[in-house]
Chains A and B, each alone.
Chain A
Amino acid sequence: MKKNLLLNGINSSKRSVLIILLTVFTSCIAFAQTRQISGKVISSDNESALAGVTVKIKGTSNGVATDANGSFNISAPSNATLVFTYVGYVPQEAIVGKSNVMNIRLAPDMNTLTEIAVVAIGYGTAKKSDLTGAVSSVSAATIAKVPVTSLDQALQGRAAGVQVTSNDASPGGNITVLIRGVGSLATNGNGPLYVVDGFPLDNGGINNINPNDIASIDVLKDASATAIYGIRAANGVVIVTTKKGKKGTAQVSVDAYTAFQSKPKEYDVLNAQQFATLYNTIAADPKQSVALPAFPTYSDPSSLHNVNWQDLVYRSGLTQNYSVAIRGGSDKVQASTSLGYYDQKGIVLGSYFKRVTFGNNTDYQPTNWLKSSSSIKYTFQDSQNPYGSQLINGGSLVQLTELPPTLDGGNKLTYLPSDGNGNFGFYNPKFTEISSYSNPLYTINNNRSYGLNNFLLANTSLEAQIISGLKIKSNIGINTSNFAGSYFSPEDDRAFNQYPGSQITNAFYSQHINSTFNWLWENTLSYDKTFGKHTINFLAGGSEQKTFWNGMGGSGIPPNGVIRDLAQVSNLKLDTNTPAGSNTGNGSNIYDLQSYFGRLTYNYDDRYILTGTVRRDGSSKFDESNYYGTFPSGAIAWKAKQESFLKNVNWLSDLKFRGSYGEVGNQGAILPFQYQELFSTGLPASANGGGVDNLGYPFNKLYQNGTAEIQPANIKLKWETDYQTDIGADAAFLNGDLTITADWYNRRSKDFLLSIAVPAQTGFNYLTQNIGSIDNKGFEFAANYNHNVSKDFQYGVSLTVATVNNKLTSVNSGASYIQNFGGLNVPGDGWATFSETHIGQPVGEFYGYKSLGIFQSQTQIDALNAAAVAKHGAGSVYQHPNTQPGDRYFADTNGDGIVDANDQVSLGSPLPKFYGGFDLSATYKAFDFNAYFYGVYGNKIFNFQESVLESFQNRSFVGVENVSTDYYNNYWTPSRPSTVYARAQANDDVEGNNVASSAYVENGSFLKLKTFTVGYTLPHSLLQSINVSKVRLYVSTQNLFTITSYKGLDPEIGIQGGNPTQNGIDTGTYPSSKYYTIGLDVTF
């Protein structure tokens, strides 16, 4: 019993009458002068055949539909006009001319507010016009505009309220995505939940998805939209839908591009002659508080051989990307298969990122009530960064500006970094001022590492329609990810062989593997029905998701340069015990979620829409008494345009108001078992393992185990709850050419989770707690204007702007602020603290001394010291006993007459006042143009790198380092007073001129032309003969220019290591540079 869905609900007798009428009608027309017209309808964007397009004769109800190949046959009078309509495409009319063949190209309807735009809302879709929540969508067409490595990059500036920052430009480098601000201080506590084809990626891995495979990205922002994802929804939900096969002829598309990446901008540092001159000047300076010894090698600067380390280590990069896809299907089966290959040679010597992706989506509809959808995505990644990238990851890149610019006086065989015969220069091991440096070329050429990652995401669903509108669906999926990596550095005895007594660096080998397996099972029941003016959409379901994590690894000294076997290394150290979610550690963990959810939408007369959503999540991360959390939300929308008083207002094409309130959760920041009282037993230290505090202790020179409580019980530990309010409006003007969306939101994140520094008096340095509250408020605005000037010329402008007003509102631990913590350990004296988040201030506020410039005279210092003595007694000084003219002058902000730790103050926020994107696009005949700008305004950057470039001391170490040319030319001397640069010294640990201070805080606002693209589509006529439906060639550039007053190389600086307390600090890491891309899209 086949059912015609269109005629569903019409009883059989009526159907018979209808068929007879239609037959009669068509036969009547036949009396007129009719001809048999045939043709094909294709989509103008990708030349694919469109099946099911309605072809009607204008003014009649006479019509047919195109078949699977997009072909149609219709009898029509010679003077008739045919109307072609298809969901998601602009209707088109064509007059029947003399030809009996009419091939039609339908243009996709770009108007995002039109009735038919459909967005994914989690466990279903909704018409854009019927949305009650705040959702931003990015289409495949938009994503295709920019050649990006990972899809989160494609979101930058495209969705209002979604802040995307490239933290560094290393191949496959990390991206920060923040939706509506920072709600948690925890590392990685602010990332959105990614849902790929219905599968929530609980363990990250979004960069495994090939951007070419994406059909759309829908960003759920407010609680009404996200609540269906409950405890994982507080940071927003990004729903990614990949391309599926469509009914119609198979379409093959090939996308290929090659991108040349220019060498990055470099810091201007001293050459060998300048460096040695500065060295000699300081060594001869009697005012130095720590004497710098003379170095005979530097005695004649003109004789030195220069080494430009940045030139040697940076290079131009090359990226190649190939993507092939076949998509199509019959009435019952539609499939899409794609293969992608991405290969980037990075701009740092030895760095690369390779990715192979394979994907298949198959939809099978054996009967009209039963449907299955399956999706498989596999990704292989291989990436290398032999010289490191970020400081936080132990990257050495920061050294490039520090290394002395000559190797003279070191390796007796060559003064060159590499002489081509296997000799690499090294610094004189006996001269302590430079002996701790190593030659990057040696490191990159001799150290070996690899890191391979396999990722598989597969899910399948079965959906049955029980009665009209009532569907039941079961979805099962798995996601597994495996990583294997190793690192080897050979023994280095080169210096020892030439300089007896010098140190030999042991060989080192490390290896680690880990795997994550995650399964998901979800069942849903949905009911969609319209009764007169009432429409109901109902969804209910249950879900279980479970994650298994295993990891293992270690390191030690291999017996020689060949053996890479942990069993044979000496001094074996096992990976430190970092549980699930990290890339290292030994052990295994299981974590799971059990959830129930429901959503009811009621629509009255297409004017008033109410949505209620609730999810109840059970999470194994919490104590039994706190397993379950319930997350409700509600929203209302008023489609004002549908009201009688606006229906005929022509200048207003559409108008809708929305309001929502809801509660959503966040538990992503913490690892399992943080609620338990736990004990750790230290190794007996039989080999140097187990961390600096191994708990064991020797008695009579024999180690015994030690056991200690490492975490007290905290059964009150629970998820973070976000209370979110959203008020928004959507409007369209100029017949839908101009659309505007505006939202005001208020997000109060309460009880955010954090492993926070606590008073050691508790017996612990860090405890995971529900710490406090953070507020984020702001506006989001998106406008889009598209205009078809003529058939040959169309253009569009779109703009997104968002503001975030962020502040910490409470801390439960008793402290009034939270200091920066975590992996970023900037190696400068006085930089241990660079941010402090105080109650009432934005998260990650910079913190340090306030610089008042440079001391110009001893009189000035003496007066301040005298005042200090008057207040604090003999021996007191204003700033430092060694302070001299030329040293930095810091403010006594608390007015006690001396400058000490209590005088440190907030120095500005890394969070922008607003940020957004601006997109210009146009097509003229066969040409298309796109320019895309991204900008932030009102944020500050803490330019740590500048303090490095002003320090001749290799800070926190013994030795010297290179400085900037600007500093060299302008540093303070008695005869060349400066108000910007302090005097040159060999040991700033004493004077502290380069400590964290306002001298290094800069305006971080910028506007970047992210991409500029010109494309040309070959004429259709040219391609028909070779059976190719579309060929587009394009050239594109990225990062062509940046408008900014920032002194560093690139003002786009994100949250280091995903930790909001170390945001916006420029550590001079992997710089971005310009890309020049040539690409080709072919469809046939």
Chain B
Amino acid sequence: MKMQKKYIILIALLAVLIIPLACKKSFLHQTNTFSSTVGSTFNKPQDVVALVNSIYDTYQNSDFMKKSMWYYANFLTHDWYNNGNDVVWNNYTIPSTFGALSTFWNDSYIGIARANAALPIIATAKAKGVIDQALADRLTGEAYFLRGMTYYYLAGTFGGVPLELDTSTTEPTTGLLPRSTQDQVFTQIVSDMKQAETLLLSKTTLPSGDLGRATKGAAYAYEGSAQMWLKNYAAALAAFNNSEITNNYHLLPKFVDVHEFDHQNNDESLFEVQFDLPAGGTQDWNGSWQPPGGELGWIDSFGWPSEITGQGYDYGSPALEYSYQNGDTRKYATILGPGDTIVSPGIIAQWGGIKGYPNVTGGYAAYLAAPNTDVTDKNRYTDGHGNIINSNGTAAYPWYGTDGTARSGYTDAKKWRDPNLTGGSGPQKLFGSQNQILMRLAEVILSRAECKIRLGDNAGALADIALVRNRAFGGTAPLVFQDGLQVDGTPAPVITDPMQMVLSEYRHELTAEYSLMYLLRRAGIDAATNKPYDEEFIHKVNHVAGAGPDNNPNPIIYPFGPTSDGKTHGVTYNDIPTGHDLLPIPQAAIGLNPNLKQNPNY
């Protein structure tokens, strides 16, 4: 009987032990300590501001801006070529699997979703009194602006794209919408920009700490351009003529200053993507574009001559340099050929010009150490008279690249402005923190000129073009429109057709920025020939009869440059194939959304 008592105790004990297991459902409740839930966020104004900041962050990505937008805007025009892994751009055979296209597509839609999601959260925060009406308006305006601007570049690059506008965060879209037409997208952009125009702050009222945020002026500029894509030239003209643009933005007196490192967010800039070198950050590969690095630009030093940086992934077409009209100050501020010296005041102040870069001083020192035997350094780093070189190669020995692969010897001078960078040599400083201008007043003025031409006001158009050209020529531009040499080295004919004047000005003003190909394609079909303006223009400025494809046995003879030795040095002469003025929808996007149809001819 003694034992039975023991059993009873034991049973009771174990029963007590089992019972707690059965009762506590709360055991399974766990609080997320890794990420925030909606309830734990957006209770302070800065939380709501941060929500909108992340939409801007979409653009801080090298594949997004450089390898998609910039490549499209410039490689397709054949003013510029690639000498890295992306040589497929040089002959218009960009595959739908090109990696950066996916980044561009995906990040655009993520940015659009961020904008969509921000709209109801801002409204809720306003209703709860977390933010006031003024801040709610501004933030809502920024969300509309950024959504519209992202659609602008998507549609500009791919044509019609799916219009994702659902703002619900709890019932996410399936992401299976098919493509809308290009016109539907631009109609939506107009609508978004119109909302933004009413809600955003004017440049005049934007606090200095918010420099870089979208303004009413920027919204009018993008609305105007979107209207042009829709052929609503009168509406576009009205947008461009809005006082938010005309009163608040001004052309800088000197063209060279527009892209200078110490002129970021200047008076001409309507919208630029902001970059910054954070305290403690580096500009070497550790601080690079790849995860988990920072968010610096991948556009500056990578395009400089490989003789200076060991890289040299972009190079220019001699045809571009030779096409500048005599006296145009934009020429050397845009492209440097063999023997040309750098004109950037910032670079000259920092390095004394090209002669100050470590590879140049090192190479020159190597030459001095062995002046009779070191032919490589002599050719590369002296001016031919025993002095250190201070030009972009020399006419006798162009900088074709240290690795001898195909490069023309011409360099992008618009992106050679950041005095902090040295490229891949020495204590590497590769990644730049210079802002990237997407929209500036000169583009608006030239677009406005195109509108006027379309509306029959040629005189007005010429007046607008003159605004841009006068600055380019350092005061007063010649009245005759005449490019320099043509691609075959012969003098160019005088341009008399106003539309061709505008296209030529788009090129000479805006090449190597984020606009040119977009503007050429926006022009649409040339009624006189029933051919797309972009095809015609690119053919005209890059192609001559008999030039033929790359490796042509009889290349065009320039005084210097890629053909001075009878080789083409990576300059190709093929025309843009039909339909390839659009990029292919990324294969991966089609794989995930079978409702997407590829662009024709891809």
Contact = CB atoms under 8 A, between A and B. Distances in A.
A and B form one complex? yes
B70 interface: no
B53 A707 contact: yes
Interface string B25-52: 1011110111111100100001101110
Interface in A561-600: 570-573, 576-577, 579, 587-592, 594, 596
A700 B210 contact: yes
A539 B509 CA distance: 83
Contacts of A573: 292-293
A583 to B, nearest CB: 15
B510 to A, nearest CB: 25
A817 B117 CA distance: 29
Contact of A989 (B85, B91, B97, B276): B85
B402 A432 contact: yes
Contacts of B85: 829, 956-958, 989
Contact of B212 (A294, A672, A699): A699
A77 B287 CA distance: 92
Contacts of A589: 33-34
Interface string A522-562: 01000000000000000000111000000000000100000
B175 A691 contact: no
Interface string B285-317: 011011111110000000000100010000000
Interface string B241-271: 0000000000000000000000011000000
B10 interface: yes
A179 B515 CA distance: 57
Among A502, A760, A900, the most chain B Cβ lie within 10 Å of the Cβ of A760
Interface in A955-1010: 956-958, 987, 989-990
Interface stretch (A324-332, A407-415, A679-687, A797-805): A679-687
A143 to B, nearest CB: 35
A466 B294 contact: no
Contact of A576 (B2, B106, B291): B291
Interface stretch (A28-36, A59-67, A762-770, A1019-1027): A762-770
B7 A679 contact: no
Given A291-B406, A673-B34, A880 B93 contact: yes
Main secondary structure of the interface of A (DSSP, over half): loop
A430 B401 CA distance: 11
A687 B114 contact: no
A735 interface: no
User: How big is the B interface, by class?
Assistant: 35 or more
Given A588-B33, A700-B209, A765 B54 contact: no
B84 A1 contact: no
A814 B589 CA distance: 12
A174 interface: no
A696 interface: yes
B99 interface: yes
A544 B25 CA distance: 11
A571 B405 contact: no
Given A504-B426, A688-B294, A760 B14 contact: no
Given A503-B424, A592-B28, A701-B276, A571 B282 contact: yes
Interface stretch (B193-201, B450-458, B524-532, B591-599): B591-599
B344 interface: no
Task: Tell me which of B49, B172, B212 has the highest count of chain A C-beta atoms within 10 A of its own C-beta.
Answer: B172
Contacts of A17: none
A900 B32 contact: no
Nearest to B33: A588
Interface string B1-14: 01100010011001
Interface stretch (B359-367, B437-445, B483-491, B555-563): B359-367
B213 A688 contact: no
Contacts of B279: 686-687
A813 B591 CA distance: 11
Nearest to A876: B577
Contacts of B88: 989-990
A815 B591 contact: yes
Contact of B175 (A504, A624, A760): A760
A547 to B, nearest CB: 10
A759 B14 contact: no
A430 B307 CA distance: 10
Interface string B567-602: 000000011011000000001110111100000011
Contacts of A704: 49-50, 53
B261 to A, nearest CB: 12
B569 to A, nearest CB: 9
Interface string A639-679: 00000000000000000000000000000000011001111
A759 B176 contact: yes
B170 A712 contact: yes
A859 interface: no
Contact of B95 (A588, A591, A702, A901): A901
B109 A706 contact: no
A464 interface: yes
B164 interface: yes
A872 B601 contact: yes
B17 interface: yes
A688 B293 contact: yes
A1006 to B, nearest CB: 33
B591 to A, nearest CB: 6
A433 B402 CA distance: 10
A673 to B, nearest CB: 5
A500 B363 contact: yes
Contacts of B95: 900-901
Given A474-B14, A573-B292, A594-B25, 10 more contacts: A464-B14, A523-B14, A571-B281, A619-B28, A679-B36, A688-B293, A695-B50, A697-B60, A706-B56, A819-B591
14 contacts: A499-B362, A501-B361, A504-B426, A573-B292, A620-B29, A673-B32, A679-B36, A680-B35, A686-B278, A688-B282, A707-B36, A759-B589, A900-B602, A989-B85
Complex A-B, nearest 9 residue pairs according to Cβ-Cβ distance, in ascending order: A763-B113, A293-B404, A500-B362, A759-B175, A688-B294, A706-B54, A762-B175, A761-B175, A432-B403
